[in-house]
Amino acid sequence: MTTVVDLAAAYHFAAVQHVDQRRKGQRAEPYMNHLTEVAELVAHATEGRELDIAIAAVLHDTVEDTGASLAEISERFGADVAALVAEVTDDKSLPKAERKRLQVEHAPHASRGAKLIKLADKTANLRALVASPPPDWTAERRDEYRDWAREVVAGCRGASPWLEARFDEAAAALS
Ligand code: ZN
């Protein structure tokens, strides 16, 4: 049975894995701040009832951005969590533009849990662009990111009206 022990283990695992990473914003926040925000949004959207989705939210960038493997996630947190993390992990062997295109293409076919994580991730990223804009991003780059995030989220709608409203607020704050 998945319990709060697994959720606590996921936070610790993510903190260790992302220890040297910082966000791109002017404050260079610890990467972990992004993961706690995404997990809180997902936990709220699921009213605390779907622990596997919250755990996958904590771990959503571990395979893409650190040395962690899906096999390791599966062994520690179970196959359901690993499957969710796999769904939200880009193939880094592909060029960035292709990865972004695939996110738009794949979003409508994603599981509900993966849609919630994508919605929360894009919401947190747009909020970060307002709260701590990356110093080297032009307004044009920021607008491009927002428009792309809207396209990904268009494929996730229906998963959580509450979370979709949080995303829309974050996007509106950038318009
Ligand atoms: Zn993320």
| Known catalytic residue at 164 | no
Write b or e for each residue in 94-107: b if 16 or more Cβ atoms lie within 10 A of its Cβ, otherwise e: eeeeeebeebbebb
Could you tell me the distance, in angstroms and rounded to a whole number, from the CA of residue 35 to the centre of ligand 1?
Answer: 7
What's the pLDDT score for residue 1?
Answer: 86
Task: Residue count of the chain, please give it.
Answer: 175
Report the amino acid identity of residue 18: H
The answer on pLDDT for 81 being more than 90 is yes
Could you tell me the distance, in angstroms and rounded to a whole number, from the CA of residue 121 to the centre of ligand 1?
Answer: 5
Q: Which of 93, 91, 124 is nearest to 106 (CA)?
A: 91
What tokens appear for 166 in the block? 């949080």
Could you tell me the distance, in angstroms and rounded to a whole number, from the CA of residue 58 to the centre of ligand 1?
Answer: 9
- State the catalytic residue, choosing from 29, 40, 64, 143: 64
**Residue 119 — very low, low, confident or very high, per pLDDT cuts 50/70/90?**
very high
Hey, what domains does the chain have and what are their CATH numbers?
Answer: 4-174 (1.10.3210.10)
| Known catalytic residue at 168 | no
